[in-house]
Chain A
Amino acid sequence: MSDLHTTVSTDSTVSIYGDARPELEQTMRMLFEEIEKIRSEMATELGMDPIEHLLGRIKSEDSMREKCRRKGLPETTESALEKIHDAIGLRVVCAFIDDVYTIRDRLLALPHIRLVKEKDYIRHAKPNGYRSFHMIILVDEKIFAEIQLRTISMDTWAALVHHLKYKKEIGANTALISEELKRCADELASTDSSMQTLRDMIRELR
Protein backbone atom coordinates (compact mmCIF):
# COMPACT_ATOMS: atom_id res chain seq x y z
CA MET A 1 0.00 0.00 0.00
CA SER A 2 2.93 2.32 -0.43
CA ASP A 3 1.80 3.27 -3.90
CA LEU A 4 -1.36 5.21 -3.30
CA HIS A 5 -0.94 7.21 -6.47
CA THR A 6 -1.70 5.09 -9.48
CA THR A 7 0.88 5.46 -12.19
CA VAL A 8 0.54 4.64 -15.84
CA SER A 9 2.35 1.49 -16.89
CA THR A 10 5.31 1.69 -19.19
CA ASP A 11 3.99 -1.42 -20.87
CA SER A 12 0.60 0.01 -21.74
CA THR A 13 -0.18 -2.46 -24.50
CA VAL A 14 -1.45 -5.24 -22.20
CA SER A 15 -2.74 -4.67 -18.66
CA ILE A 16 -1.70 -7.23 -16.07
CA TYR A 17 -5.31 -7.04 -14.86
CA GLY A 18 -6.58 -8.21 -18.29
CA ASP A 19 -10.14 -7.00 -18.65
CA ALA A 20 -10.83 -7.18 -14.90
CA ARG A 21 -10.03 -3.56 -14.16
CA PRO A 22 -13.65 -2.29 -14.28
CA GLU A 23 -14.63 -5.08 -11.90
CA LEU A 24 -11.82 -4.13 -9.50
CA GLU A 25 -12.92 -0.51 -9.62
CA GLN A 26 -16.53 -1.50 -9.05
CA THR A 27 -15.53 -3.66 -6.04
CA MET A 28 -13.47 -0.85 -4.57
CA ARG A 29 -16.40 1.57 -4.95
CA MET A 30 -18.68 -0.95 -3.27
CA LEU A 31 -16.25 -1.28 -0.34
CA PHE A 32 -16.09 2.50 -0.02
CA GLU A 33 -19.89 2.61 0.11
CA GLU A 34 -20.06 -0.11 2.76
CA ILE A 35 -17.49 1.67 4.90
CA GLU A 36 -19.37 4.96 4.47
CA LYS A 37 -22.56 3.22 5.68
CA ILE A 38 -20.77 1.86 8.76
CA ARG A 39 -19.27 5.29 9.30
CA SER A 40 -22.63 7.07 9.37
CA GLU A 41 -24.20 4.43 11.65
CA MET A 42 -21.31 4.83 14.08
CA ALA A 43 -21.40 8.63 13.81
CA THR A 44 -25.00 8.53 15.03
CA GLU A 45 -24.17 6.16 17.89
CA LEU A 46 -21.01 7.94 19.01
CA GLY A 47 -21.98 11.51 18.25
CA MET A 48 -18.74 11.86 16.31
CA ASP A 49 -17.29 10.77 12.98
CA PRO A 50 -15.14 7.70 13.76
CA ILE A 51 -13.09 7.98 10.57
CA GLU A 52 -10.38 10.56 10.12
CA HIS A 53 -9.71 9.61 6.52
CA LEU A 54 -10.29 6.85 4.04
CA LEU A 55 -8.03 6.04 1.09
CA GLY A 56 -8.15 3.45 -1.64
CA ARG A 57 -6.24 2.49 -4.71
CA ILE A 58 -5.91 -0.14 -7.38
CA LYS A 59 -2.28 -1.25 -7.30
CA SER A 60 -0.42 0.29 -10.24
CA GLU A 61 0.65 -1.87 -13.16
CA ASP A 62 4.33 -1.34 -12.34
CA SER A 63 3.97 -2.18 -8.65
CA MET A 64 1.94 -5.28 -9.44
CA ARG A 65 4.48 -6.52 -11.98
CA GLU A 66 7.30 -5.78 -9.57
CA LYS A 67 5.51 -7.72 -6.83
CA CYS A 68 5.02 -10.70 -9.18
CA ARG A 69 8.73 -10.74 -9.93
CA ARG A 70 9.64 -10.39 -6.26
CA LYS A 71 7.42 -13.36 -5.40
CA GLY A 72 8.71 -15.42 -8.32
CA LEU A 73 5.31 -15.45 -10.00
CA PRO A 74 4.67 -15.11 -13.75
CA GLU A 75 3.39 -11.63 -14.70
CA THR A 76 -0.11 -12.80 -15.50
CA THR A 77 -3.66 -11.75 -14.68
CA GLU A 78 -4.03 -14.94 -12.64
CA SER A 79 -1.05 -13.97 -10.46
CA ALA A 80 -2.36 -10.41 -10.04
CA LEU A 81 -5.88 -11.43 -9.06
CA GLU A 82 -5.58 -14.89 -7.49
CA LYS A 83 -2.09 -15.24 -6.04
CA ILE A 84 -1.58 -11.66 -4.93
CA HIS A 85 -4.34 -10.33 -2.74
CA ASP A 86 -3.83 -6.59 -2.61
CA ALA A 87 -4.75 -5.43 -6.12
CA ILE A 88 -7.40 -3.49 -4.22
CA GLY A 89 -6.12 -1.72 -1.15
CA LEU A 90 -8.04 0.42 1.33
CA ARG A 91 -6.81 2.29 4.34
CA VAL A 92 -9.19 3.38 7.06
CA VAL A 93 -7.71 5.83 9.54
CA CYS A 94 -9.72 6.21 12.76
CA ALA A 95 -9.54 8.77 15.53
CA PHE A 96 -9.91 6.23 18.36
CA ILE A 97 -8.54 2.75 18.74
CA ASP A 98 -11.80 0.99 19.67
CA ASP A 99 -13.34 2.18 16.41
CA VAL A 100 -10.71 0.25 14.46
CA TYR A 101 -12.10 -2.99 15.89
CA THR A 102 -15.74 -1.92 15.55
CA ILE A 103 -15.27 -1.20 11.85
CA ARG A 104 -13.46 -4.50 11.38
CA ASP A 105 -16.31 -6.41 13.07
CA ARG A 106 -19.02 -4.65 11.06
CA LEU A 107 -17.26 -5.17 7.75
CA LEU A 108 -16.83 -8.87 8.42
CA ALA A 109 -20.49 -9.15 9.41
CA LEU A 110 -21.51 -8.26 5.84
CA PRO A 111 -22.82 -11.32 3.94
CA HIS A 112 -20.77 -10.78 0.77
CA ILE A 113 -17.46 -10.30 2.60
CA ARG A 114 -15.37 -13.19 3.87
CA LEU A 115 -12.21 -12.94 5.95
CA VAL A 116 -9.25 -14.72 4.38
CA LYS A 117 -6.47 -13.63 6.71
CA GLU A 118 -5.85 -11.00 9.32
CA LYS A 119 -2.79 -9.69 11.12
CA ASP A 120 -3.24 -7.68 14.26
CA TYR A 121 -0.13 -5.54 14.44
CA ILE A 122 -1.89 -3.43 17.07
CA ARG A 123 -2.00 -6.12 19.77
CA HIS A 124 1.24 -7.56 18.42
CA ALA A 125 3.26 -4.57 17.22
CA LYS A 126 6.12 -5.31 14.85
CA PRO A 127 9.55 -5.21 16.55
CA ASN A 128 10.23 -1.78 14.99
CA GLY A 129 7.07 -0.37 16.62
CA TYR A 130 4.77 -0.47 13.55
CA ARG A 131 1.13 -0.78 14.47
CA SER A 132 -1.84 -1.38 12.16
CA PHE A 133 -4.62 -3.90 11.64
CA HIS A 134 -4.34 -5.70 8.30
CA MET A 135 -6.87 -7.99 6.71
CA ILE A 136 -7.35 -9.74 3.41
CA ILE A 137 -10.97 -10.23 2.46
CA LEU A 138 -12.72 -12.00 -0.38
CA VAL A 139 -15.67 -10.13 -1.91
CA ASP A 140 -18.46 -12.20 -3.45
CA GLU A 141 -16.13 -15.22 -3.27
CA LYS A 142 -14.28 -13.69 -6.19
CA ILE A 143 -12.27 -10.49 -5.70
CA PHE A 144 -9.58 -10.08 -3.07
CA ALA A 145 -8.92 -6.83 -1.25
CA GLU A 146 -6.60 -5.73 1.49
CA ILE A 147 -7.95 -3.42 4.17
CA GLN A 148 -5.66 -1.68 6.65
CA LEU A 149 -7.20 -0.07 9.70
CA ARG A 150 -5.29 2.10 12.12
CA THR A 151 -5.50 5.20 14.30
CA ILE A 152 -4.29 8.69 13.43
CA SER A 153 -1.30 8.18 15.76
CA MET A 154 -0.30 4.93 14.08
CA ASP A 155 -0.72 6.55 10.68
CA THR A 156 1.35 9.53 11.80
CA TRP A 157 4.17 7.32 13.03
CA ALA A 158 4.23 5.30 9.79
CA ALA A 159 4.19 8.50 7.70
CA LEU A 160 6.98 10.14 9.71
CA VAL A 161 9.17 7.05 9.62
CA HIS A 162 8.59 6.88 5.86
CA HIS A 163 9.75 10.50 5.54
CA LEU A 164 12.95 9.69 7.41
CA LYS A 165 13.79 7.09 4.75
CA TYR A 166 15.71 5.36 7.50
CA LYS A 167 17.33 2.09 6.50
CA LYS A 168 18.78 -0.07 9.24
CA GLU A 169 21.99 -0.89 7.45
CA ILE A 170 23.05 2.71 6.81
CA GLY A 171 25.40 4.55 9.14
CA ALA A 172 26.24 4.42 12.81
CA ASN A 173 23.89 4.63 15.80
CA THR A 174 21.66 2.01 14.18
CA ALA A 175 20.59 0.43 17.44
CA LEU A 176 19.97 3.76 19.14
CA ILE A 177 17.87 5.14 16.28
CA SER A 178 15.84 1.93 15.98
CA GLU A 179 15.19 1.91 19.72
CA GLU A 180 14.15 5.56 19.67
CA LEU A 181 11.76 5.07 16.74
CA LYS A 182 10.25 2.15 18.66
CA ARG A 183 10.00 4.32 21.80
CA CYS A 184 8.13 7.01 19.81
CA ALA A 185 5.70 4.34 18.56
CA ASP A 186 5.18 3.06 22.11
CA GLU A 187 4.56 6.57 23.42
CA LEU A 188 2.00 7.23 20.70
CA ALA A 189 0.32 3.90 21.50
CA SER A 190 0.19 4.95 25.13
CA THR A 191 -1.47 8.23 24.16
CA ASP A 192 -4.00 6.40 21.97
CA SER A 193 -4.88 4.27 24.96
CA SER A 194 -5.23 7.29 27.28
CA MET A 195 -7.40 9.18 24.77
CA GLN A 196 -9.67 6.13 24.46
CA THR A 197 -9.98 5.96 28.26
CA LEU A 198 -10.89 9.66 28.32
CA ARG A 199 -13.53 9.17 25.62
CA ASP A 200 -14.99 6.24 27.59
CA MET A 201 -15.17 8.34 30.75
CA ILE A 202 -16.75 11.31 28.97
CA ARG A 203 -19.38 9.03 27.44
CA GLU A 204 -20.13 7.44 30.83
CA LEU A 205 -20.74 10.90 32.29
CA ARG A 206 -23.34 11.80 29.65
Chain B
Amino acid sequence: MKILIAEDTADLNRVVTAMLEKFGYDVDSVYDGEAALEQIDRSGYDAVILDIMMPKMDGITALKNMRSRGINIPVLMLTAKAEIDDRVAGLDAGADDYLPKPFAMKELLARVNAMTRRKTKYSGSVVSYADFTLNTETLELSAVNSVRLSMKESELLSLLIQHSGKELPTDFILEHVWRTDDSADSNTVYLYVRYLQRKLEGVGAAAQITGKIGGAYMLTAK
Protein backbone atom coordinates (compact mmCIF):
# COMPACT_ATOMS: atom_id res chain seq x y z
CA MET B 1 0.00 0.00 0.00
CA LYS B 2 1.44 3.31 -1.10
CA ILE B 3 0.49 6.60 0.55
CA LEU B 4 1.28 10.19 -0.35
CA ILE B 5 1.28 12.80 2.38
CA ALA B 6 1.21 16.53 1.58
CA GLU B 7 1.73 18.56 4.76
CA ASP B 8 3.79 21.75 5.02
CA THR B 9 4.53 21.53 8.74
CA ALA B 10 7.82 19.63 8.58
CA ASP B 11 7.59 18.08 12.05
CA LEU B 12 4.09 16.78 11.59
CA ASN B 13 4.94 15.50 8.11
CA ARG B 14 7.91 13.59 9.51
CA VAL B 15 5.99 12.06 12.41
CA VAL B 16 3.07 10.90 10.26
CA THR B 17 5.44 9.45 7.65
CA ALA B 18 7.41 7.53 10.28
CA MET B 19 4.27 6.21 11.92
CA LEU B 20 2.69 5.00 8.64
CA GLU B 21 5.96 3.39 7.59
CA LYS B 22 6.11 1.61 10.93
CA PHE B 23 2.72 0.08 10.14
CA GLY B 24 3.86 -1.23 6.78
CA TYR B 25 2.87 1.58 4.40
CA ASP B 26 5.14 2.80 1.68
CA VAL B 27 5.09 6.61 2.13
CA ASP B 28 6.16 9.56 -0.04
CA SER B 29 6.03 13.01 1.52
CA VAL B 30 5.75 16.45 -0.05
CA TYR B 31 5.25 19.90 1.45
CA ASP B 32 2.82 21.72 -0.87
CA GLY B 33 -0.13 21.13 -3.19
CA GLU B 34 1.79 21.58 -6.42
CA ALA B 35 4.35 18.96 -5.42
CA ALA B 36 1.49 16.65 -4.44
CA LEU B 37 -0.01 16.85 -7.94
CA GLU B 38 3.37 16.29 -9.59
CA GLN B 39 3.97 13.26 -7.40
CA ILE B 40 0.50 11.83 -8.14
CA ASP B 41 1.16 12.15 -11.88
CA ARG B 42 4.51 10.45 -11.49
CA SER B 43 3.49 7.53 -9.28
CA GLY B 44 0.43 5.51 -8.28
CA TYR B 45 -1.00 5.78 -4.76
CA ASP B 46 -3.60 3.87 -2.78
CA ALA B 47 -4.46 6.90 -0.65
CA VAL B 48 -3.50 10.54 -0.27
CA ILE B 49 -3.39 12.64 2.91
CA LEU B 50 -3.81 16.34 2.09
CA ASP B 51 -3.43 19.29 4.41
CA ILE B 52 -5.74 22.18 3.51
CA MET B 53 -3.46 25.13 4.33
CA MET B 54 -0.29 24.76 2.26
CA PRO B 55 1.98 27.12 0.28
CA LYS B 56 1.96 27.31 -3.57
CA MET B 57 -1.33 25.42 -3.84
CA ASP B 58 -3.77 24.63 -1.05
CA GLY B 59 -5.19 21.15 -0.48
CA ILE B 60 -8.70 21.91 -1.74
CA THR B 61 -7.39 23.22 -5.08
CA ALA B 62 -5.10 20.23 -5.46
CA LEU B 63 -8.00 17.87 -4.69
CA LYS B 64 -10.33 19.61 -7.17
CA ASN B 65 -7.63 19.36 -9.81
CA MET B 66 -7.25 15.61 -9.18
CA ARG B 67 -10.95 14.90 -9.29
CA SER B 68 -11.48 16.99 -12.43
CA ARG B 69 -8.96 14.75 -14.16
CA GLY B 70 -10.75 11.59 -13.04
CA ILE B 71 -8.15 10.63 -10.41
CA ASN B 72 -10.25 8.83 -7.83
CA ILE B 73 -7.65 7.87 -5.23
CA PRO B 74 -9.15 8.06 -1.71
CA VAL B 75 -8.24 11.34 -0.02
CA LEU B 76 -8.11 12.19 3.68
CA MET B 77 -8.14 15.96 4.37
CA LEU B 78 -6.41 17.44 7.36
CA THR B 79 -8.29 20.55 8.51
CA ALA B 80 -6.47 23.21 10.50
CA LYS B 81 -9.19 23.87 13.03
CA ALA B 82 -12.51 22.22 13.62
CA GLU B 83 -13.98 24.71 11.14
CA ILE B 84 -17.20 23.31 9.72
CA ASP B 85 -16.76 25.30 6.48
CA ASP B 86 -13.34 23.73 5.90
CA ARG B 87 -14.67 20.23 6.37
CA VAL B 88 -17.63 20.85 4.10
CA ALA B 89 -15.40 22.42 1.42
CA GLY B 90 -13.08 19.40 1.57
CA LEU B 91 -15.86 16.84 1.29
CA ASP B 92 -17.55 18.84 -1.49
CA ALA B 93 -14.31 18.94 -3.43
CA GLY B 94 -14.21 15.13 -3.38
CA ALA B 95 -12.46 14.14 -0.15
CA ASP B 96 -13.40 10.73 1.26
CA ASP B 97 -12.79 11.67 4.87
CA TYR B 98 -11.39 14.47 7.04
CA LEU B 99 -9.52 14.74 10.33
CA PRO B 100 -9.40 17.98 12.35
CA LYS B 101 -6.08 19.05 13.87
CA PRO B 102 -4.84 18.34 16.42
CA PHE B 103 -5.43 14.63 16.03
CA ALA B 104 -4.22 11.44 17.67
CA MET B 105 -1.84 9.34 15.54
CA LYS B 106 -3.95 6.31 16.39
CA GLU B 107 -6.99 7.90 14.79
CA LEU B 108 -5.09 8.94 11.66
CA LEU B 109 -3.83 5.37 11.25
CA ALA B 110 -7.33 3.95 11.75
CA ARG B 111 -8.76 6.30 9.12
CA VAL B 112 -6.03 5.50 6.59
CA ASN B 113 -6.59 1.78 7.23
CA ALA B 114 -10.33 2.19 6.70
CA MET B 115 -9.84 4.16 3.49
CA THR B 116 -7.43 1.69 1.89
CA ARG B 117 -9.58 -1.24 3.00
CA ARG B 118 -12.60 0.21 1.22
CA LYS B 119 -10.59 0.58 -1.95
CA THR B 120 -9.25 -2.99 -1.91
CA LYS B 121 -12.69 -4.36 -1.33
CA TYR B 122 -14.18 -2.28 -4.11
CA SER B 123 -11.68 -2.77 -6.92
CA GLY B 124 -11.73 -5.72 -9.27
CA SER B 125 -15.13 -6.83 -8.09
CA VAL B 126 -17.14 -9.18 -10.22
CA VAL B 127 -20.87 -9.09 -9.72
CA SER B 128 -23.23 -11.58 -11.21
CA TYR B 129 -26.93 -12.02 -11.73
CA ALA B 130 -28.88 -14.82 -13.42
CA ASP B 131 -26.35 -16.31 -15.85
CA PHE B 132 -24.29 -13.20 -16.58
CA THR B 133 -21.36 -11.52 -14.89
CA LEU B 134 -20.20 -7.93 -14.83
CA ASN B 135 -16.62 -7.06 -13.96
CA THR B 136 -16.77 -3.47 -12.71
CA GLU B 137 -13.03 -3.06 -13.13
CA THR B 138 -12.59 -4.26 -16.73
CA LEU B 139 -16.22 -3.32 -17.62
CA GLU B 140 -16.67 -6.72 -19.24
CA LEU B 141 -20.23 -8.00 -19.46
CA SER B 142 -20.36 -11.68 -20.28
CA ALA B 143 -22.73 -14.62 -20.58
CA VAL B 144 -22.63 -16.73 -23.78
CA ASN B 145 -20.75 -13.86 -25.43
CA SER B 146 -19.02 -10.80 -24.06
CA VAL B 147 -18.87 -7.04 -24.68
CA ARG B 148 -17.17 -4.13 -22.95
CA LEU B 149 -19.48 -1.58 -21.43
CA SER B 150 -18.93 2.14 -20.96
CA MET B 151 -18.39 3.41 -17.40
CA LYS B 152 -21.96 4.72 -17.07
CA GLU B 153 -23.48 1.51 -18.46
CA SER B 154 -21.48 -0.47 -15.92
CA GLU B 155 -22.55 1.77 -13.03
CA LEU B 156 -26.20 1.57 -14.09
CA LEU B 157 -26.08 -2.20 -14.44
CA SER B 158 -24.34 -2.56 -11.05
CA LEU B 159 -27.10 -0.52 -9.47
CA LEU B 160 -29.79 -2.63 -11.14
CA ILE B 161 -28.05 -5.82 -9.98
CA GLN B 162 -27.78 -4.51 -6.41
CA HIS B 163 -31.53 -3.88 -6.43
CA SER B 164 -32.58 -6.70 -8.76
CA GLY B 165 -36.23 -7.59 -8.69
CA LYS B 166 -37.09 -4.13 -7.36
CA GLU B 167 -38.43 -1.20 -9.33
CA LEU B 168 -35.95 1.68 -9.40
CA PRO B 169 -37.47 5.09 -10.14
CA THR B 170 -35.71 7.27 -12.74
CA ASP B 171 -34.84 9.89 -10.09
CA PHE B 172 -33.18 7.29 -7.89
CA ILE B 173 -31.06 6.14 -10.85
CA LEU B 174 -30.14 9.73 -11.74
CA GLU B 175 -29.03 10.41 -8.16
CA HIS B 176 -26.86 7.30 -8.03
CA VAL B 177 -25.36 7.11 -11.49
CA TRP B 178 -25.37 10.69 -12.82
CA ARG B 179 -24.74 12.42 -9.45
CA THR B 180 -22.88 15.45 -10.71
CA ASP B 181 -24.02 15.57 -14.32
CA ASP B 182 -26.76 18.21 -14.47
CA SER B 183 -27.41 17.65 -18.17
CA ALA B 184 -28.62 14.09 -17.54
CA ASP B 185 -32.39 13.60 -17.39
CA SER B 186 -35.02 10.89 -17.83
CA ASN B 187 -34.10 10.61 -21.52
CA THR B 188 -30.51 9.82 -20.59
CA VAL B 189 -31.58 7.07 -18.20
CA TYR B 190 -33.95 5.65 -20.80
CA LEU B 191 -31.23 5.60 -23.48
CA TYR B 192 -28.78 3.83 -21.17
CA VAL B 193 -31.43 1.29 -20.22
CA ARG B 194 -31.99 0.68 -23.92
CA TYR B 195 -28.23 0.22 -24.46
CA LEU B 196 -28.14 -2.34 -21.66
CA GLN B 197 -31.26 -4.15 -22.85
CA ARG B 198 -29.66 -4.73 -26.21
CA LYS B 199 -26.25 -5.63 -24.79
CA LEU B 200 -27.75 -8.15 -22.37
CA GLU B 201 -29.53 -9.68 -25.36
CA GLY B 202 -26.35 -9.50 -27.43
CA VAL B 203 -24.32 -11.51 -24.92
CA GLY B 204 -27.16 -14.01 -24.61
CA ALA B 205 -27.93 -13.24 -20.95
CA ALA B 206 -31.05 -14.78 -19.44
CA ALA B 207 -32.06 -11.48 -17.84
CA GLN B 208 -34.07 -8.44 -18.83
CA ILE B 209 -34.64 -4.84 -17.84
CA THR B 210 -38.23 -3.66 -17.96
CA GLY B 211 -39.74 -0.21 -17.59
CA LYS B 212 -40.90 2.83 -19.50
CA ILE B 213 -39.32 6.21 -20.15
CA GLY B 214 -39.53 8.44 -17.06
CA GLY B 215 -40.81 5.56 -14.93
CA ALA B 216 -39.17 2.85 -12.86
CA TYR B 217 -36.83 0.17 -14.20
CA MET B 218 -36.31 -3.35 -12.95
CA LEU B 219 -33.84 -6.13 -13.64
CA THR B 220 -35.25 -9.64 -13.56
CA ALA B 221 -34.16 -13.09 -14.66
CA LYS B 222 -35.83 -14.51 -17.75
Q: Which residues of A pack against B, CB within 8 Å? A: 123-125, 183, 186-187, 189-190, 193-194, 196-197, 200-201
Is B202 a contact partner of A201 (Cβ separation < 8 A)? no
Nearest CB in chain B: distance from A203 CB, A: 13
CB of B155 within 8 Å of the partner chain:
no
Is B145 a contact partner of A194 (Cβ separation < 8 A)? no
By secondary structure, the B interface counts as mixed
Nearest CB in chain A: distance from B200 CB, A: 10
In the complex, which residues of chain B have a beta carbon less than 8 angstroms from the beta carbon of A123? 144-145, 202, 204
Is B191 a contact partner of A201 (Cβ separation < 8 A)? yes
By secondary structure, the A interface counts as helix
Is A197 a contact partner of B202 (Cβ separation < 8 A)? no
Q: Which residues of B pack against A, CB within 8 Å? A: 138, 140, 144-150, 191, 194-195, 198-199, 202, 204
Partner of A183, one of B145, B148, B150, B202: B148
Is A190 a contact partner of B148 (Cβ separation < 8 A)? yes
CB within 8 Å for A201 and B194 given contacts A123-B204, A193-B202 = yes
A186 CA / B153 CA spacing, docked (Å):
14
Which single residue of chain A is at the shortest CB-CB distance from B200? Answer: A193
A183 CA / B194 CA spacing, docked (Å):
22
In the complex, which residues of chain A have a beta carbon less than 8 angstroms from the beta carbon of B199? 190, 193
Partner of B145, one of A124, A196, A201: A124
A189 CA / B145 CA spacing, docked (Å):
10
In the complex, which residues of chain B have a beta carbon less than 8 angstroms from the beta carbon of A194? 195, 198
Which single residue of chain B is at the shortest CB-CB distance from A179? Answer: B138
A190 CA / B154 CA spacing, docked (Å):
12
Is B147 a contact partner of A197 (Cβ separation < 8 A)? no
A189 CA / B198 CA spacing, docked (Å):
11
Is B198 a contact partner of A186 (Cβ separation < 8 A)? no
| Complex A-B, nearest 5 residue pairs according to Cβ-Cβ distance, in ascending order | A190-B147, A187-B148, A186-B148, A197-B194, A189-B147
